Amino acid sequence: MQSKHEWRTNMKARLNEITAHDKETLDKEIVERLFTYEPYLKAETIGLTIAMKSEVDTKKIIESAWADGKKVAVPKCNPKSKQMTFYYLTGWDQLETVYFGLKEPKPEETFICHSHEIDLLVVPGLIFDHKGYRIGFGGGFYDRFLQKYPNETVSLAYEFQLVDSVPVESFDLPVQSIITNEQILNVK
């Protein structure tokens, strides 16, 4: 089996091959599935990142959540401690660009959202298996956060990011569902 580093390198290359038009189409299919997903419909607070270019775009999700009266919480990562703190986001102007081009909330303009207040956490990743395990981007932020997170988890991915199995370590926790452009895979 490939190492996590090899998996990441290969999948990043594959993601960068998607044309803008195809990405827009696939993102729309995934987001439309999310909007029919029962835990999303029931959630009052959604936790998710501001997607990077190669990830499923989360902007429409955030705007729809706001329009539906849901609260949105976005993480701020501390690279030294490898910990994340979520903050409620009520407008795009509350974001700043930090390392690697990530968009994160400005703590001085937002309020902390504790993990138990997030009803549905959208967990990012590069590769996912049919048991809900994932290979993330290598920082370990979500691995640490998930250890104490008590509620629903889902990941958004392109169908080609779904594989039979990935290397699993003792600290890895699976997500409960994966939504792709072709299916909603419930693995819990």
| Residue 4 in marked binding region | yes
The answer to whether 142 is annotated as binding is yes
Q: Is 144 annotated as a binding residue?
A: no
Whether residue 136 is annotated as binding a ligand: the answer is yes
- Is 125 labelled as part of a ligand binding site? no
**Residue 5 annotated as binding?**
yes
- The answer to whether 6 is a known ligand-binding residue is yes
Q: 39 — phi, psi (to 5°)? A: -60, -30
Asked if residue 138 belongs to a known ligand binding site, the reply is yes
State yes or no: 118 annotated in a binding site.
Answer: no
The reply, when asked if residue 140 is annotated as ligand binding, is: yes
Residue 137 in marked binding region: yes
Find out whether 58 and 48 touch, Cβ atoms under 8 Å. yes
Euclidean distance between CA atoms 157 and 186, whole angstroms: 13
Please report, to the nearest 10 degrees, the dihedral formed by the alpha carbons of residues 45, 77, 175, 2 taken in order: 160
- Tokens found for residue 123: 């967990």
Known binding residue 69? Answer is: no
Annotated binding site: 4-8, 50, 55, 134-142
Annotated binding site for ATP: 4-8, 134-142
Annotated binding site for substrate: 50, 55
